[in-house]
Amino acid sequence: MSQDTPPKFRIVAISGSVRPGNFTGKALAVVCDELRKHDHIELIIIDPAEWQLSPGGASGDEEAETKLKAIVKDATGIVLATPEYHGSYSAVMKIIIESLGFPSVMEGKPLVLIGVAAGAIGAIKATEHLRSVCSHIGALVLPGPVSLASVFKLFDEDGNCIDEQSDKRLRGAATRLLDYIANHICPSISLEEMVREQQAPGNE
């Protein structure tokens, strides 16, 4: 690989809501729009409404769970977005996390959190609870989760974010994730490639 060509990275963005037209998906879409500006990023969006996942212990679609694990296992970074329900993150997000196994395939992966809430306080409790769980399973939760308050005021009918500050914060989450990858993961990959080249036949 040329030193001038950045490696291809996979970012997996996961929504924690299945409601039609939900604001969680709209907030996540802004983050994904920012990620798409980078040609070296492969973006995969997980909409749980399209997956047959079941709570832990219940019989579900094992093929779907296996596929989801494979997608997340190959991810370089992850974005999790959840609505705040009853002072915590959504049951949908909990099912997704449980479907990723234990040890979790999210272990060791950088992750940013997005939370949305209808109330004026925002999704602070949801993101804090989700941070605790993700840290417990070994994910590298990056600082600065985005918590959006009064979310129904922030998007127009077409799903565009009409609040400049909220739009900036959502796009900043994408930037933080990419910066972490550039500063901590890219150097490791470059070092591994250098070692492999030195160990290749003819380079003794």
Percent share of the chain, pLDDT over 90: 76
Whole-angstrom distance, CA of residue 57 vs CA of residue 95: 11
Structure tokens at 34: 């920012």
CATH of region 9-199, choose from 3.40.50.360, 3.40.50.880, 3.90.1150.10, 3.40.980.20: 3.40.50.360
| pLDDT of 35 higher than 60 | yes
Extents of the domains making up the chain: 9-199
pLDDT (0 to 100) of residue 53: 87
| pLDDT of 75 higher than 90 | yes
pLDDT (0 to 100) of residue 185: 82
Whole-angstrom distance, CA of residue 193 vs CA of residue 204: 16
The pLDDT tens digits of the residues spanning 91-131 come to 999 999 999 998 999 999 999 999 999 999 999 999 999 99
DSSP 90-104: -HHHHHHHHHTTTTT
pLDDT (0 to 100) of residue 79: 98
Lowest mean pLDDT segment, chosen from 137-146, 176-185, 186-195: 186-195
Q: pLDDT category, 90, cuts 50, 70, 90?
A: very high
pTM score: 0.88
Structure tokens at 77: 């970074």
The pLDDT tens digits of the residues spanning 162-177 come to 999 999 999 999 999 9
pLDDT (0 to 100) of residue 2: 45
What mean pLDDT value characterizes the chain? 88
pLDDT (0 to 100) of residue 31: 98
198 versus 129: the higher-pLDDT residue is: 129
Q: pLDDT category, 4, cuts 50, 70, 90?
A: low
CB proximity list for 123: less than 8 A, separation 6 or greater: 82, 83, 84, 115, 116, 117, 147, 148, 149
pLDDT (0 to 100) of residue 174: 97
